Amino acid sequence: MSVVLVVNSGSSSLKYQLVDVGAGTPLASGLVERIGAGPGPAAHTDAAGRTSRDEVSVADHHAAFAWMLQAFAEHGPSLESHAPVAVGHRVVQGGARFFEPTVITELVKINIDELSVLAPLHNPANLAGIVAAERAFPSVPHVAVFDTAFHQTMPPAAYLYALDRDVAERHRIRRYGFHGTSHRYVSRAAASFLDRPVEELKLIVLHLGNGASACAVDGGRSVETSMGMTPLEGLAMGTRSGDLDPAIVLHLQRRAGLGVDEVDDLLNKRSGMLGLGGHGDMRDLTEAAEAGDEAARTALDVYAHRIRSYVGAYAAQLGRVDAIVFTAGVGENAPGVRAMALAGLGGFGVAVDPDRNAIRSRAARRISTDDSRTAVLVVPTNEELEIARQTLEVVGA
Ligand SMILES: Nc1ncnc2c1ncn2[C@@H]1O[C@H](COP(=O)(O)OP(=O)(O)O)[C@@H](O)[C@H]1O
Ligand SMILES: CC(=O)OP(=O)(O)O
Ligand SMILES: [Mg+2]
């Protein structure tokens, strides 16, 4: 059995999953929240799906790992009989430097740290998780799997901003794209569902989670994606604005008197569905909209409108679309959002079947009508399994 521990360290959370890569199944998973911010929820789920919940005050990522080790010891499975052969880390920003999963050395850590200027909200937390995990698991290799890696195949026409070339190069300003691990996994899973080689397919993948991004996948390679230099660009998200006129940022500083950090906070944490509709969580937002809340309804309209714009743009870039694929928390679980996003596209050969769309399932499925020229699919993502597989490949276990 090849067991890999997958770690996704956020600024205030630690998510982990122990994966049996051969079987493709999780042996355990868990989450510690509100790291460094007083008492917060923590949960550990064992292989049988039993979840034990706790309320913990963890000061930092080291303490979060200590909680995790304790949870394994108390609730299983045992990390002695299911010892991980490697630890795979989600790292958000790999810049133009990392385009493959990479065994973590001191030099790699310096590079991840240095790339923090391009992902100040993500890379420092990823690095803190790596350092803590190395201490908890000192005798196995640690591997970084980058969100940006899959998008390194984008052509310059897609990744360049129309900025002064010297300024852009000096500051490494370009589109990097994120959620690559998910876009890669889902595009392959969609191909396998359609029973066609991914090399033959032109796909639009819509990863709609708390963060959200669209990706045009041509022959299995990312050719365009909606997130840019940072995960702020593109679709409207739970709390992030997505696309804006850049002059708005200047206006907020010049006229509204906001400082740089205040603008950063506004655009990343208080905008999107939260800012427009009062709820950053799609479940709460759709509930409010159904109860007649006008602001929530309008926010949903904006969310769907933005997705439709990207679908149209990517269809034009690809020249043909074999399938549009919904994934992640919202994409997998919110039929109303899926229907709104693709409404009115019948003239372009995209037709969602309302009955198929309403079916709740955890399996990959088709939700388009039989005569829809473009298939519309729901394909659950599994970033942890993909990270575990790539980790195992690099360490050659
Ligand atoms: N049944 C559901 N209906 C609507 N939205 C859902 C449902 N389940 C989860 N979501 C939404 O999915 C989002 C979280 O997606 P997820 O992929 O888990 O995010 P992330 O990994 O980026 O934290 C939240 O907005 C949540 O409300
Ligand atoms: C990169 C990114 O936006 O990640 P998440 O969706 O997990 O916030
Ligand atoms: Mg996610």
The position carrying tokens 């992030």 is 240
H or E element that contains 304: helix 294-318
Residue 204's pLDDT is what? 99
Residue 243's pLDDT is what? 98
For residues 99-108, give the mean pLDDT: 97
For a pocket test of ligand 2, which of 12, 13, 91, 92 has the largest count of ligand atoms closer than 8 A to its C-beta? Answer: 92
Per-chain mean pLDDT for the chain: 96
What fold is seen in the domain 197-383? Nucleotidyltransferase; domain 5 (3.30.420)
Residue type, 214: A
Residue 37's pLDDT is what? 87
**Confidence class for position 157, pLDDT limits 50, 70, 90:** very high
Domain limits, the chain: 3-146, 197-383
Residue 134's pLDDT is what? 97
Residue 121 predicted with pLDDT over 90: no
Residue 89's pLDDT is what? 98
- Residue 70's Cα: distance from chain center in Å? 28
Residue 221's pLDDT is what? 98
pTM summary value: 0.96
Ligand that comes closest to the CA of residue 229: 2
For residues 11-18, give the mean pLDDT: 92
Asked if 213 and 242 touch (Cβ cutoff 8 Å), the reply is no
Gap from CA of 348 to ligand 1 centroid (Å): 29
Helix extents (H) in 30-179: 61-75, 106-114, 123-136, 156-159, 165-170
Gap from CA of 178 to ligand 2 centroid (Å): 7
**Confidence class for position 67, pLDDT limits 50, 70, 90:** very high
ipTM above 0.95, yes or no: yes
Pocket lined around ligand 2, Cβ cut-off 6 Å: 92, 147, 178-179, 209-211, 231
Please tell me which residue, 396 or 243, carries the higher pLDDT value.
243
Residues, the chain, total? 397
CA-based nearest residue to 148, from 125, 179, 194, 120:
179
Residue 82 predicted with pLDDT over 80: yes
Residue 98 predicted with pLDDT over 90: yes
Residue 199 predicted with pLDDT over 90: yes
For a pocket test of ligand 2, which of 118, 210, 237, 282 has the largest count of ligand atoms closer than 8 A to its C-beta? Answer: 210
Cα dihedral 238, 244, 248, 253, rounded to 10, equals 50
Residue 1's pLDDT is what? 79
Asked if 40 and 81 touch (Cβ cutoff 8 Å), the reply is no
Residue 337 predicted with pLDDT over 90: yes
Topology match between the domains 3-146 and 197-383:
yes
Residue 302 predicted with pLDDT over 80: yes
Rounded Cα gap, residues 53 and 71, in angstroms: 10
Residues with catalytic annotation? 147
Residue 120's pLDDT is what? 86
Gap from CA of 359 to ligand 2 centroid (Å): 27
**Confidence class for position 68, pLDDT limits 50, 70, 90:** very high
275 lines ligand 1 (CB under 6 A): no
Tokens in use for 230? 């940072």
Residue 260's pLDDT is what? 96
Maximum C-alpha span of the chain: 61
Gap from CA of 235 to ligand 1 centroid (Å): 15
Strands 14-20 and 3-9: antiparallel
Residue 10 predicted with pLDDT over 90: no
CATH architecture of residue range(s) 3-146: 2-Layer Sandwich (3.30)
Rounded Cα gap, residues 180 and 285, in angstroms: 27
Residue 397 predicted with pLDDT over 80: no
Q: Which residues participate in the annotated binding site?
A: 8, 15, 90, 207-211, 281-283, 329-333, 383
Asked if 30 and 53 touch (Cβ cutoff 8 Å), the reply is no
pLDDT in tens, 276-288: 999 999 999 999 9
For residues 237-265, give the mean pLDDT: 97
**Confidence class for position 12, pLDDT limits 50, 70, 90:** confident
Residue 245 predicted with pLDDT over 80: yes
